[in-house]
A and B are shown apart, each in its own frame.
Chain A
Amino acid sequence: MAAHSLSPPLRGLLFTVKYVSLHSRCCAVHSKAHYSTVYNPNEKTFDKILIANRGEIACRVIKTCKKMGIQTVAVHSDVDSSAVHVKMADEAICVGPAPTNKSYLNMDAIMDAIRVTGAQAVHPGYGFLSENKEFAKRLAAEGVMFIGPDTHAIQAMGDKIESKLIAKAAKVNTIPGFDGVVKTAEDAVKIAQEIGYPVMIKASAGGGGKGMRIAWNDDETREGFRFSSQEAASSFGDDRLLIEKYIDNPRHIEIQVLADKHGNALWLNERECSIQRRNQKVVEEAPSTFLDPVTRRAMGEQAVQLAKAVQYSSAGTVEFLVDSKKNFYFLEMNTRLQVEHPITECITGLDLVEQMIRVAKGYQLQHKQEDIPINGWAIESRVYAEDPYKSFGLPSIGRLSQYQEPLNLSNVRVDSGIQEGSDISIYYDPMISKLVTYGATRNEALAKMEDALDNYVIRGVTHNIPLLREIITHPRFISGDISTNFLPEVYPDGFKGHQLEVDARRELLASAAALYIAAQLRSQKVLGDQRVSTIPVKCTHWELCVELGEGCHAMEVTKSGDVYNVEVDGGKVEVIGAFNLASPLLPLTINGSDRMLQCLSRDASGMIVLQYLGTVFKVRVLSKLASELNSYMPEKVPEDTSSILRSPMPGTVVAVSIKPGDTVAEGQEICVIEAMKMQNSLTAARQAKVKSVHCKPGETVGEGDLLVELQ
C-alpha cells in the first residue's frame, strides 16, 4: 500500500536523537523527536524569534528554536503567566487578559512586545494570527519577518472564495458550489436550493471546522447561517460566509507542501484526517491507507501547482476531499503549520518548523522531491479535555491534578503545552496534547498507540481517551475503511464507551477483586511498636461479590504471592500483579497477557473506579457477607431530571430564548451556551411550560448548573 518500503538500516536512523535541548527547563514537551535532517549550525537564521501563540504549538516552536540556537520570546495572557510555553521561552511578555481577542489576537500588544524584545521574526503557530494578513502586513511594515507565506498568499488562500478561483485557474480539481458572500438567511436558503442539499455553510475567513455547519433542509440552512455567522464574527472578526455542495461520505486527505522563496516547492506526502467530529479532526495518520502511488503523486503535484500559483513559501497544507472512487477535490489551503504536522515529520524525517525558519530567512530548500520518503507509519491522537459521551466530545474544564505522559514507551511523541497542575480554562482550545506513535508498519504504530493511551495518566479533567482508544481498535479503522462520517456511522446512538465481551468483563472483575484484596491486606500492615499486638486476618481465600452495572458476580479468589486466581461466572482468571496502591497505573498480567489498567479512585465502601481498555468502569467489590446484607439497604431515589435543564458544559450563556411562563415545544431552543468558541444550542426535552429561568445572557455557568426549570 505504501509507495516506499523501507530498508532496515535506514529506519534505524530515524530514531536517533538529533538534537539535545540547549536548555533543560522544559519538562513537559517530548524530549526526543524523529528527525533525520541534521541541523546545520553554520546556517545563520535569526537571533530572536517571538512566538505569537500559546499551548503545545508555542512549545513545539520553542523546541526547534532552542535546537537552532535562537532566543525565544513568549507572549501570554494574564491567566497563562505560569504556562509551560512561558517557562520554556527565554523571555515572556504579557499581552493582555484571558479572552483571546484581548491577548493572543491583540495585534497592538504583540507589536509592542516585538519592539520591546527586539525579536527579528515571528512564528504564529496555528490559529490566532497565523492566517491574518493584517498581522503579516504590520510585521512587514516594521521590518519583522513573518515565519510563513507572504501576505499575498495568505490573502489568496485565506479567502475561501478567492482560493477556489485560483485553484481552478491552477488546474486543481474543485468542488461544485456557490462562490460568493452570503448576506442573509434567505439568500442562504436560495443558494442552497440551487446547489442542492446537502450543503455546507462556513465562514470565509475560518478553518478548522469552526463556524462550519451542514444543512440538509431550509430550516437547517437558516439555523446554520445564524450560528456560523455569529461564530465567524466572534472567532475571526469577519462574518462573511459561503455555501457549497457537501460531499457525503468523503475522506479528508491533505497534502503537506513546503516551498521556498526561490520558486521551489515540494509535497511531503499526505495525511489522512478523516476521523472527525463536528468537522474537527480527532485521529490522523500518515500515510493514508487509501491512496495509491498514482493518486498520491497526482494530489501532490496539484498541491505544488497551487503553491507555485500563489508564489507560496514556507510550510502549508492543501486539503482535499477524496470520494470513494479516489476522485479528489480541492477544499482549502491552510497557509500555516498544521496541528497534525508531527505525523508528516515522523514519516519524512523533516523538522517542519526548522524548515519554515530557514525558508523565512531566504534559504533554498535542502531537499528534492525524490528525497522525500515515506518511512513507516505515524498516527496522531488528539487528546482533548472533553466528554466523549456527549456528542463525541463536549468541552470540560478543570485542573490537571495528575498528569503523566507515556514517554516511557519508545516511538511515542507527545506534543503538549501543559503539565501537572495546569488549568484547562474556558478561554482556549481544550486540547491537552497530541499523542503521536510511530512504527515500521501501520499495525506497529496502532499497537503502540493502544499502549500509549493505556499508559497516559490524566486526572482532574474529563478526557477523550476512551473514544480515541475505541477508534484505533475498531475493525473498520484497522482495515482502513473510514470516512469523515466514521463516528456517526459507527456510533449512531452516540459513543457509549467500550462494550465488554464476556472474557474482558471477567478480566476486569478479576482485576478489581485483586486490587481490593491487595488494599485490604495493606490495611493490616501496621508498622512500628504497638502495645496491643496486631493479629492480622490469616486469609488466602476470599469470597467476594463484584458489582458492575446491574449485575452482581460472585467470585472466589485465592492468592499466593503476587498471583491471584479468580473464579468468576464459571470462568477462571489468573491475575498477576505487585500492586503499588499509590500509583495510578496498574500493570497486570491477566491470563498471560500484559495489560495496563488505571485506578482512578478507590474508597472504603468498596467502590473501585478502573480505566480498562480505555473506558472508565465503576466496580464495587464487597465481601460475600456485605453483599448479602446489601440487599436490605434501601434504594436512594435519584432526583427527577426530566423537568430540569442543566448546563452540559462550562461556558458562557449567549442567549436565552424563553422566559418564565412560556410554553416550549419538544426540541425548541431554550438557550445557547458558548464554550471553547463553540456555540451549543440547548433544547427542551419535552413540551412543557417554563417554570423558572436561572441564567441570563453574559453569565458564566459551570457544568451541571441549573439553567431552566420546566413544569
Chain B
Amino acid sequence: MAAFSVARSSCGLVNGLRVSFRSLTQVKYGAVSASVAQTNLHRGCRWYSVSHLSVRERIEKKRKAALVGGGQKRIDAQHKRGKLTARERVELLLDPESFVESDMFVEHRCSDFGMEEDRNKFPGDSVVTGRGRINGRLVYVFSQDFTVFGGSLSGAHAQKICKIMDQAMTVGAPVIGLNDSGGARIQEGVESLAGYADIFLRNVMASGVVPQISLIMGPCAGGAVYSPALTDFTFMVKDTSYLFITGPDVVKSVTNEDVTQEELGGAKTHTTVSGVAHHAFENDIEALLNLREFFNFLPLSNQDPAPIRECHDPRYQPKLTTCWTSFKQYIVDAKDFFEIMPNYAKNIVVGFARMNGRTVGIVGNQPKVASGCLDINSSVKGARFVRFCDAFNIPIITFVDVPGFLPGTAQEYGGIIRHGAKLLFAFAEATVPKITIITRKAYGGAYDVMSSKHLRGDVNYAWPTAEVAVMGAKGAVQIIFRGKENQAEAEAEYVDKFANPFPAAVRGFVDDIIEPATTRKKICSDLEVLASKKQVNPWKKHANIPL
C-alpha cells in the first residue's frame, strides 16, 4: 500500500511542480484558494504500480521536496518581490546549523476540490517549524512558506505550529513566528478556522509564560492577524508586509473608502498610526538580524531571570545630564537601546537596555513631544510594555518628566480615564524591581502613575531639577491666590516652595536627591541588590485591568 502511494506521490510531485508554474490563480485577503490542476489528462487517472524506490530513497525524496517548498519558480517569484523564502529566513535568524526541524513530512489532509491529488501535496505543507538557537539560546520558530499555496493555513499547518508552541511551553522557551501567509485555506473550510483558533488559544495560554514574537514578512490578513496581535511583540518589514482585517477591495465595497494596501495596513500605518506593530525594518535581512539582537534582551521564560550579558562599560560615567532622553543611551550599556514603538505615541519612550549587563525595561516621558504629557496612546503603550517586563522578570527603570495628563474633549471622549488607568494599574501590580528617577516635572496624578513610591517603587530618586507638585506654578497660584494683587510674587513663593525636590524628599516619597552624573552608578548598584526582590500579589484568578 505504501509503495503505491509513493508512486502516486512521486508522480504527483512532478505534476504539482508543473502546476506551480502557473502562479497562484488568485490571492484573496483573508483566504487563499489553492491552485488546483485542471488538466484533463490527469483527472481521475491513477497509476497503480509497484514502486521501484526503497523507503530510504523515498525519505530522501520527500526531504528534498520539502526543502524546495512550492518549487523553484515560486521561490524566484518570492525573491522577485524582495522577500526571502521561509527556510532562508529561518537560516538567517538562527545560529548556523542550529535549526532542528520538526514535521517535515506532514501534509495537508484536504480531499476536496482536487486537493487530494499528489501534485497538490507538499511535504511539510505551507510552514516550516522547529527549534534552534539564537546566540546559543533556545528558541522555537515557525516560518510560513508563501511558495506553498500562498502560505495559506491548513489544518496541518496549524497543527505543526501548535506542536512547537506546546513544546516551547513545556521547556520554557520563546516562540518566534515569521508570518507570510495569504490567510485561511479556503478548500479546508472550517478545519482551517479551527486551526486558527487552536493557535489563538495557545497564544493566550503562552502569554506571560514564554515571550512570543511575531515578525510579519508578507501579507497577514483576516482572522490571521489575531495571532500576532496576541503575541508580545509584532514587528513588520517595510513595503512587503501588511496587516489588516479586510483588504482594500472589501473596504471599498463596505465603506466606499479608497485606500491602498500600504495605507491600510502597511508598516508605516501600524508603527505610527494604529500602534499595532512595535517596530518596522527596512527589509527581511535587517528585520531578522535585528530580531536576533532583540532576542538577546529577553529571558527564555517567566521562570528565568532577565539575562545578563558580559558588560564592558564602566559603572560610573560622569555625564552632564540635563535631559534624560538625550542621555539615555549614555546611562545604559554600550548605547544599546532597543526602542519599542519609536514612532507611535512619542511622548512616552519605552524600550529595552542593559545596566551592567542586565536587561532592564526603560519607561520615560519624552518632554520634547507634547511636553511629555500622558495621553491615551502613550498610556496604553507604556502599560503594555510595563506588563511585559513584569511578566518576564525584567526590572523597570522609569524616568519621570511629566506635566500631567493631556486635557481636552478628544482625550476625555476617547476615554483617557479608562486608558490612563491601565498605566497606573500596570505599574501598581508590577512586582519586578522598580527604580524611578524624577528628572524634572512630576505634576498631578501623572506623578502618582509614573511608578511613584506609593505604587511600591523600590527606589525612587529625584534629580536636583525635580519638581513634584500638584501642578505648575502659574496654574497653582491662580487657584490658591485667586484675586490676589501680586500674582508674580505669589508665583515666586510657590516656585520657592514646590519647584524643587524637597517637598517629596522630606516626606520620604523619594529616597534620595542625586546628581544626574551618578544616575548610572546608582541604578547599577540598586539592581544588584534588588535582584533577590520577592514580592507577591494576593491570590486571584486574574486581576481585572480596565481594558
Contact = CB atoms under 8 A, between A and B. Distances in A.
A604 B333 contact: no
Interface stretch (B104-112, B309-317, B482-490, B506-514): B309-317
B292 interface: yes
Interface in B74-122: 79, 82-84, 88, 91-92, 95-96, 98
B368 to A, nearest CB: 13
Given A419-B320, A582-B334, A634 B82 contact: yes
A298 interface: no
A32 to B, nearest CB: 21
Contact of B136 (A399, A537, A583, A632): A537
Given A537-B95, A604-B289, A401 B82 contact: no
A665 interface: no
B133 interface: yes
A532 B138 contact: yes
Nearest to B82: A634
Interface residues of A, number: 41
Interface string B284-298: 111001101110100
A537 B312 contact: no
B239 interface: yes
A10 interface: no
A629 B293 CA distance: 19
B100 to A, nearest CB: 12
A530 B326 contact: no
A420 B327 CA distance: 11
Nearest to A423: B322
B303 A531 contact: yes
B308 A401 contact: no
A7 interface: no
Contacts of A582: 311-314, 333-334
Interface residues of B, number: 57
Q: Is the interface of A mostly helix, strand, loop or mixed?
A: loop
Contacts of B296: 523
A92 B342 CA distance: 41
Interface in B119-135: 133, 135
Contact of B309 (A527, A530, A633, A636): A527
Given A422-B320, A626-B289, A401 B326 contact: yes
Among B135, B281, B322, chain A packs the most CB atoms within 10 A around the CB of B135
Contacts of B301: 531
A421 interface: yes
A583 B312 contact: yes
A162 B296 CA distance: 72
B453 to A, nearest CB: 29
A12 interface: no
B246 interface: no
A370 B86 CA distance: 83
Nearest to B333: A582
Contacts of A537: 95-96, 98, 133, 135-136
Interface in B311-366: 311-314, 318-322, 326-327, 329-330, 333-335, 357
Interface string B367-394: 0000000000000000000000000000
A580 B310 contact: no
A565 B98 CA distance: 26
B300 A530 contact: yes
B304 interface: yes
B305 interface: yes
Contacts of B333: 582
B139 to A, nearest CB: 10
A630 interface: yes
A206 to B, nearest CB: 34
A580 B321 contact: no
Interface string B402-437: 000000000000000000000000000000000000
B310 A630 contact: no
B137 interface: yes
A626 B357 contact: no
Contacts of A606: 289
Contacts of A536: 135-136
A531 B330 CA distance: 31
Given A605-B285, A630-B285, A532 B172 contact: yes
B520 to A, nearest CB: 12
Nearest to B299: A530
Contacts of A530: 137, 300, 304, 307
A604 B297 CA distance: 13
Contacts of A534: 135-137
A629 to B, nearest CB: 6
Contacts of B322: 421
B319 A420 contact: yes
Contacts of A401: 326-327, 329-330
Q: Which 9 A-B pairs have the closest CB atoms?
A: A421-B320, A604-B293, A634-B82, A525-B310, A582-B313, A582-B312, A534-B136, A536-B136, A605-B286
25 contacts: A399-B326, A402-B330, A420-B320, A421-B319, A421-B321, A523-B309, A526-B135, A526-B136, A527-B310, A530-B307, A531-B300, A532-B138, A534-B136, A535-B133, A536-B135, A537-B98, A537-B133, A604-B292, A604-B293, A604-B294, A605-B281, A605-B289, A630-B285, A633-B82, A633-B285
Given A421-B322, A526-B308, A535-B98, 17 more contacts: A399-B326, A419-B320, A522-B312, A523-B309, A524-B136, A529-B305, A532-B171, A532-B300, A535-B136, A601-B335, A605-B281, A605-B286, A626-B285, A626-B289, A629-B284, A630-B285, A632-B83
